[in-house]
Structure 1
Amino acid sequence: MQLFDSESLDRRGSSAVKRTPPKPSHKTFYRIASKRRLSVVDRISKSKRQLFDDNIPMSFDDEEPISLSSHALAALAEFHAEKDAHEKTFEKLRTGAAPRAGAGLGVVEPEDEDPVAEDADDQPLSMAAFTEDWNESQFWFLDETAFALADQLLDGASSSSTIGVVSTPSVFIALKNRLRFWPIEDRPKLVLFEHDHRFSVFPEFVFYDFQRPLQLPAYLKGSLDSVIIDPPFFSNDCQTKFALTGRWLVKPKSPRVIVCTGERMATIVDKLYRSLGVYATTFEPAHAGLSNHYYCYANFESSTWDWRSDESD
């Protein structure tokens, strides 16, 4: 997402203007003649980096060739293999998923899908193909959380339903995986509103910039039966613009609304979504590597959550 003021906080609660990844707790630099550095060490995980620390000599002759131990070479090979696997998975999505219905159109009717293509590669989708981008304040939900939220969006849905996913791609992937087991003729329509163009590999993708909250295709106004919203920043400005988008998108009669954001935003969420009956629930979404206290707000109770009371805190 784009930066907009120095007071905004991302999902980690950090200032938006300082959203660079934290430096490792320690980093070893090797002084080489002519001030060369082994920058490859910084590109791999801490555990693999230790192999380099243990196997690279601390000093070199100017003409001495640099060599790595078999363990260090194996770690480097594993790193590149993982990177190549992610790139192949993404390329497979790019060349396979999008062309079936035309990426970027937004709403895909069930009859537009190709059942032959679906059956030919009946593999579940994974967020592993989309590494988190901290510049976008991206932190994916754990699978358990993503599926729990997807199940609530699908509850009561039918082929005449339209489900919107706003800045919550991990839930979109969970929805796609759940719907693999639904008959094509029964599947609801999905729309993914997302700023990250990597997700344009999916035909349900619609570009969304919260700085322009209503700059969306006109036919989507009042079209959603249910929606999930996960604003990337803990600021009143960001939350307000996402709420404008959500209220513009949902149908006027009994839409299902889920908002996932920090506990600290409870007051503004109550104000922005009061007309839709959204309240804090007992369900707490979980992210990998993110310790902020996250709440799920919704305008309905379910088997997964109840309304949160003061005693729940």
Structure 2
Amino acid sequence: MDSDDELQLSASTLAALQEFQREEKARKEEFEKLSAKAEEDFDNVNAGIDAFQEDWNLSQFWYDDKTANLLADELLDGANESTRIIIVSAPSVYGALSKRAKETWPTKEIYLLEYDDRFKVLAKDKFHHYDFARPLDLPKELAGSFDRILIDPPFLSEDCQTKGKLKYRFGHWLLEVRKVTRFRISSSSQLLYLQYG
């Protein structure tokens, strides 16, 4: 094959690719700076979800700031220093909390369970790797110890939604099931809508 037969990108496509690569490099450098800052002075890191690029291969789609803050506010409403909160597969909600000064949090007992290990930067020792493919694998020290939970299964598939329900319904996370409000996110989903009182 001579050079005339080789496939080549058009100038505009090549320019777009180079721009993407520059942006990706800048994001990685910014994330490395955030990581270093978190190692040095974790309590003063006020980074949010903006520092993290969505990974579509992991089915990551962040909540917008308004929604993430609304969910974070709901989790914190009425919480006190002994309230234990767990956020499962909703790193943008944890990111909304992380933008706030940690001394304003009513509790320091807020945990993030997430498949993407990059989020250790935000949650540090409150981060635990979690895979919805193994819904009952939860660190023993966390089992049955939470007052509040937010679960956002990463996929809308019935299998993933069922595994999220399974973990919750068997009470592996909560101290006591008091009130559950669920929102239907897919008409094909067979989620249960329960109110415990």
Q: Shorter chain as normaliser: what TM range?
A: 0.7 to 0.9
Change (3 A) 1:196 1:259: farther
Pairwise mapping of residues 156-235 of structure 1 onto structure 2 (< 5 A)?
A: 156-180=78-102, 182=104, 186-201=106-121, 202-203=123-124, 204-235=126-157
Q: Distance in 1 between matches of 2:65 and 2:137?
A: 31
Contact 2:84 2:107 in 1 (8 A): no
Per the alignment, residue 185 of structure 2 pairs with 262
Letter paired with 2:43: E
Q: Distance in 1 between matches of 2:83 and 2:12?
A: 50
Residue 85 of structure 1 pairs with residue 26 of structure 2:
yes
Residue ranges of structure 1 left out of the alignment (5+ in a row): 1-31, 53-74, 101-113, 278-298, 301-313
Q: Distance in 1 between matches of 2:119 and 2:10?
A: 31
If the length of structure 1 is used for normalisation, what is the TM-score?
A: 0.53
If the length of structure 2 is used for normalisation, what is the TM-score?
A: 0.80
Q: Give the match's secondary structure for 1:219.
A: coil
More helix by share: 2
Contact 1:158 1:188 in 2 (8 A): no
Letter paired with 2:8: R
Letter paired with 2:187: R
Q: Give the match's secondary structure for 2:43.
A: helix
Q: Give the match's secondary structure for 1:220.
A: coil
Residue ranges of structure 2 left out of the alignment (5+ in a row): none
Letter paired with 2:167: T
Q: Distance in 2 between matches of 1:205 and 1:251?
A: 19
Q: How many residues align?
A: 191
Per the alignment, residue 35 of structure 1 pairs with 6
Per the alignment, residue 132 of structure 1 pairs with 54
Q: Give the match's secondary structure for 1:249.
A: coil
RMSD: 3.1
How far does the alpha carbon of each residue in 1:56-79 deviate from its partner, in whole angstroms, 9 at most, with x for none? xxxxxxxxxxxxxxxxxxx84x86
Change (3 A) 1:169 1:160: same
Per the alignment, residue 118 of structure 1 pairs with 43
Q: Distance in 2 between matches of 1:192 and 1:258?
A: 20
Letter paired with 1:84: K
